Amino acid sequence: MFRRTAGVLAVAVALVGLHAPAASADVVVADVVVAARTLTYNASGAAEFKAAVDAGAAVWNSSVVNVKLVSTTSSSANIRVVADNGWPRAQTTSLGNGTVWMGREATNEGYNPTRIAAHELGHILGQPDRKPGPCTSLMSGSSAGIACTNPNPNAREKSEVEAAFRTLKAAGVWQREFVE
């Protein structure tokens, strides 16, 4: 991740002529240096889905540079992840904050838990459902079918998350519940 961030920084510095420390993990946007926004998630209530949640967070961390998801056990985490017997869902309190429910109903039907986790975290990062949709779209969710195990956001989804977290202050405040 550091190499990728440093590479982006080096290219951006060359393009805009800014001078930044070589070891910086900041992202250069035009003439402004913006630190990647760190969001914490607490998956201690995710039960058997904790590894899938960690994998889903790792997918986003390797896909975007303007936001980073970091695991914590703190009760004041930005994102709380819990397991229940319902259908997976997410509810945001604001961009980058909210609750994810890793519902067993979908995994019992055969849906991939890492794809579910990455999809639900996508909602917390501001992504809407895009249904129906192909397996290449993470946010197509269950409409891509049980055989779809792709946990990766496509170029559009990555770009939208990058744009949402481009500034230090989260853009907009809204509350939305996403239910598959």
Single out the catalytic residue among 105, 120, 157, 177.
120
158 touches 59 (CB < 8 A): no
164 touches 95 (CB < 8 A): yes
Give backbone dihedrals phi and psi of 105, rounded to 5 degrees, phi first: -55, -45
Question: What pLDDT sits at residue 34?
Answer: 54
Q: Are residues 27 and 91 in the same domain?
A: no
Please give the tally of structural domains in the chain.
Answer: 2
Q: Provide the token pair at 166.
A: 């481009």
According to DSSP, residue 132 is labeled S
Q: Are residues 123 and 143 in the same domain?
A: yes
Question: What pLDDT sits at residue 36?
Answer: 81
Indicate if 120 belongs to the active site. Answer: yes
Task: Indicate the pTM of the whole model.
Answer: 0.77
Is 90 exceeded by the pLDDT of residue 2?
A: no
* Cα–Cα nearest to 139, from 71, 56, 48, 58: 56
Q: Are residues 81 and 163 in the same domain?
A: yes
Q: Are residues 46 and 122 in the same domain?
A: yes
Q: Are residues 16 and 3 in the same domain?
A: yes
**% of the chain surpassing 90 pLDDT:** 72
Residues 53, 54, 58: CA angle, nearest 5 degrees = 115
Structural domain containing residue 42:
36-179
Residue with tokens 């800014």: 18
Here the CATH number for the domain that contains residue 173 is 3.40.390.10
pLDDT confidence of 167, banded at 50, 70, 90?
Answer: low
Q: Are residues 9 and 43 in the same domain?
A: no
Q: Are residues 30 and 67 in the same domain?
A: no
Question: What pLDDT sits at residue 11?
Answer: 36
When computed from its CA atoms, the radius of gyration of the chain, rounded to whole angstroms, is 17
Q: Are residues 85 and 98 in the same domain?
A: yes
Q: Are residues 25 and 112 in the same domain?
A: no
| pLDDT (mean) for 60-71 | 97
